[in-house]
């Protein structure tokens, strides 16, 4: 009971006042959609569209320079808005330099775990950045990019077609067809049971 009350209080303080952010994340462990709502209000981002999901492990070094469209999903990735070497260069060379850039993420974009997006990059729309990729240049609409530095791998449309075919052949395809959205609490236990049985049939 105390834990429920604590989480309720922390959520209230976070959403109404932008306070206790660290404790809110630590004890509430917000889902991506909830955390996107928090960031929309208190994250300092230039814009955050509708129907976004942002993991609380995502890092924005310069949130004011970041614009996020609608239906964007960010895993634990890092968006960097400035060149961190500038302070060292200014002291070492007796100069006064600046190197910052905006990051624009258009609608319908997924950025995977461990990916890094550098300053001055525009992504999408309808694009995917693979896990671990380092994005140094713009990502064209409809492409999947991966690697270091990130390069095109295929189109999102091709991946959707391939996944449609593969999904139709899964033992739990019927459960997927009946699922509401990407997560359906009512069907998850059965989905988990079927997947585990398929992956580990002898255990």
For 14-21, the CB contacts below 8 A with 24+ separation are 14/38, 14/42, 15/41, 15/42, 18/42
Tokens linked to 132: 């671990």
* Omega within 30 of 0 (cis) for the link into 125: yes
- Written as six digits, the tokens of 65 are 């320079």
Of the candidates 90, 86, 87, the residue with the CA atom closest to the CA atom of residue 99: 86
CA angle 94/100/104 to nearest 5° reads 175
User: Among all chains, which residue has been given the structure tokens 């429920």?
Assistant: 4
CA distance 20 to 42: 12
82 catalytic residue (yes or no): yes
> In 18-155, where does DSSP find H-type helix?
21-28, 32-42, 86-93
Residue whose C-alpha is closest to residue 72's, from 102, 47, 51, 101: 51
Given 12, 17, 82, 113, the catalytic residue? 82
Tokens 């600046």 sit on residue: 98
User: Which residues participate in catalysis according to the annotation?
Assistant: 82
């Amino acid at each position: 009971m105390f834990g429920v009350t604590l989480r309720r209080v922390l959520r209230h303080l976070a959403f109404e006042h932008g306070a206790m952010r660290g404790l809110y994340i630590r004890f509430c462990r917000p889902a991506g959609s909830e955390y996107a709502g928090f960031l929309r209000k208190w994250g300092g981002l230039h814009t955050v569209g509708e129907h976004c999901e942002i993991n609380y492990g995502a890092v924005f070094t310069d949130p004011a320079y970041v614009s996020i469209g609608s239906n964007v999903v960010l895993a634990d990735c890092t968006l960097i808005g400035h060149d961190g070497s500038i302070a060292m260069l200014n002291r070492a060379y007796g100069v006064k330099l600046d190197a910052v850039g905006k990051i624009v993420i258009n609608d319908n974009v997924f950025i995977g775990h461990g990916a890094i997006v550098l300053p001055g990059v525009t992504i999408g729309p309808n694009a995917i950045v693979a896990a671990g990729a380092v994005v140094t240049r713009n990502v064209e609409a409809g492409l999947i990019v991966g690697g270091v530095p990130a390069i095109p791998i295929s189109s999102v449309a091709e991946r959707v077609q391939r996944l449609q075919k593969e999904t139709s052949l899964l033992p739990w395809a019927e459960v997927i067809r009946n699922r509401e959205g990407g997560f359906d609490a009512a069907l998850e236990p059965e989905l988990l049971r079927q997947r585990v049985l398929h992956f580990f049939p002898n255990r």
